[in-house]
Amino acid sequence: MPRLAVLAAAAFTLSAAATRTEAQTFQENDLLLTRAERTDFRETTRYDEVMEIARLFAERSPDIHLTTFGYTMEGRALPLLVVGAPDASAAAVRATGKTRVYLQGDIHAGEVCGKEALLMLLRRYASGVYPAWADSVVLLVAPIYNADGNERIRLDNRPRQNGPIGGMGQRPNAQGLDLNRDHTKLDSPEAHAFVRLLNDYDPHVVVDLHTTNGTHHAYQLTYAPPLHPNTPVGIDRFLRVRWLPELTERIREKHGWEYYYYGNAQRTPDGGQGWYTFDHRPRFQNNYVGLRNRIGILSEAYAYLTFEDRVRATLWFVEEVVDFAAQNATRIRDITTTADRERVVGRDLATRADFLEGEQVTIRMGEVDRERNPFSGEVVLRRRDVSEPTRMTDFGAFRPTETATAPEAYYILPEAEEAIVRTEAHGITVVRYANARRVSAEQFVVDSTVVADGEFQGRRERTVWGRWEPVTLELPAGTAYVSVDQPLGRLAFTLLEPRSDDGFLAWGILDASVEKGSLPVLRVAAIRR
Ligand SMILES: [Zn+2]
């Protein structure tokens, strides 16, 4: 266990606007600095240090409680710090009736600014910087989600990123899986832990903290709402019309920095320029959370800011997210409750999607300088302070390219045990039939199927073509009945509809049955009203 220095002064300068300086509050509370702060942002905090700081927070602050919510593949317990509830249990958190905000760092463990910012946020909380938050919100803070990846420090991970120059962790977990592609198939223990946390604590808001790759733009940080076209409209509107614009305005006023929607500048099909967001599929966390009727927010600090500035950008982002959540706590709960009550049965929902061509927008493009990591000699890039307004077409949202009518329910045959177990793991209500029964349903007749040549995330992705046809059959005992008329109906549809581009069939989870020529998923068509 490394020994942590207990310092009395802050290495991290605060905005002049802060009413109490951190230096004062440290002297009062004697709380710990992160490894990043102690090393002038040359290094990033290790797992054991995160655990030690977390224990000290919980020991020294009556408002902060520490628990764990699962394990990594290598058996590291995943810390969860709970703020604003009498204890760290899900029951106590839910019983507060407050708006629950989950903040996660380090899903990609080379993108470490979120982990550092969350530890600093907690210290600032314990120092009394945010006195009003606990009145209306409970914070659920998971600073080091990909803990195994965090410990695989190398100086050549994320080679062009501007630090930490003493090295950072790797993108995948110990299985070699990208945890931000695992939210539907659930092949990692970390993703299992995360969906269990969602089922138990049910956060209304989920914030996932990253660092960018790609375009040299001028924004200090970019963000994204859930991008799947099946996201409840109320969530999409609230984020795009109010929350994200207001947050952007406040950052500009308080700190003079520019935040905007995540994107990369790319050629459009007609030869113009477009600002393209990433992907609508729920394998990505923010999209997954949206399909669960909750408010997912992706944050991407700009990779070519210095490490210290990325931590600062992320800390400011998270502060504004929580401030807004605290000021709009009731409205947020209303929006998620309304989404839970919205019946999707009989509605045409997207099974596949593509970028929606939007309006012309002005994007602030940037430039970078090359410099060298003094310890490895390798080239890293640094953001230059220029901002070049550039007009381009917005591709920040998705439209359906194929839809299916959401059925009343699905049946999953017992031969597809892996699909049943995963459906249950997602928190979807599943009823298992104790006895065989004869039913009228629809079966998907496969015309053709294609399996991807290469592996992706340890699996070979599959596509099927075919059609639903009526059938009368005897369902064996052990068949799972999955109603779509439940709060997680949107998610059940995405996981079980055969043409879904991020469902169990697409991930090869139903391969054994498909190879035999039949699908183990049937459906009960919606009655058109
Ligand atoms: Zn990332």
| pLDDT score for 19 | 41
Ligand 1 centre to CA of 114 (Å) is 10
Helix (H, G, I), strand (E, B) or coil at 249: helix
Ligand 1 centre to CA of 210 (Å) is 4
Overall average pLDDT of the 242-271 stretch: 97
Which of the 8 DSSP states describes residue 192? H
Overall average pLDDT of the 204-232 stretch: 97
Q: What is the pLDDT of residues 280-338, one digit of tens each?
A: 999 999 999 999 999 999 999 999 999 999 999 999 999 999 999 999 999 999 999 99
| pLDDT score for 313 | 98
Token output for 31: 């709380």
Ligand 1 centre to CA of 187 (Å) is 18
pTM: 0.94
| pLDDT score for 529 | 56
Ligand 1 centre to CA of 108 (Å) is 5
Average pLDDT over the chain reads 94
| pLDDT score for 515 | 86
Ligand 1 centre to CA of 125 (Å) is 26
Q: What is the pLDDT of residues 29-41, one digit of tens each?
A: 455 899 999 999 9
Q: What is the pLDDT of residues 99-132, one digit of tens each?
A: 999 999 999 999 999 999 999 999 999 999 999 9
Ligand 1 centre to CA of 183 (Å) is 14
User: At residue 10, does pLDDT exceed 80?
Assistant: no
In the chain the first and final C-alpha atoms are separated, in Å, by 64
Ligand 1 centre to CA of 111 (Å) is 6
Ligand 1 centre to CA of 159 (Å) is 14
Q: What is the dihedral of CA 8, 131, 140, 34, to 10 degrees?
A: -10
User: At residue 145, does pLDDT exceed 70?
Assistant: yes
- Confidence band, pLDDT 50/70/90 cuts, at residue 518: confident
Q: What is the pLDDT of residues 88-99, one digit of tens each?
A: 999 999 999 999
Overall average pLDDT of the 18-30 stretch: 45
Ligand 1 centre to CA of 219 (Å) is 16
User: At residue 26, does pLDDT exceed 70?
Assistant: no
Overall average pLDDT of the 203-212 stretch: 98
| pLDDT score for 18 | 43
Q: How far is CA 269 from CA 222, 264, 266, 273, 358, in A?
A: 24, 15, 10, 9, 14
Q: What is the pLDDT of residues 405-452, one digit of tens each?
A: 999 999 999 999 999 999 999 999 999 999 999 999 999 999 999 999
Ligand 1 centre to CA of 53 (Å) is 24
Ligand 1 centre to CA of 61 (Å) is 31
Nearest to 342 by CA among 186, 493, 495, 137: 493
- Confidence band, pLDDT 50/70/90 cuts, at residue 528: low
Q: How far is CA 233 from CA 196, 226, 400, 426, 441, in A?
A: 25, 11, 14, 22, 30
Ligand 1 centre to CA of 302 (Å) is 11
In terms of phi and psi (left: phi > 0; alpha: psi -120 to 50; beta: otherwise), the region of 187 is: alpha
Ligand 1 centre to CA of 212 (Å) is 7
Overall average pLDDT of the 270-277 stretch: 96
Ligand 1 centre to CA of 505 (Å) is 26
| pLDDT score for 31 | 55
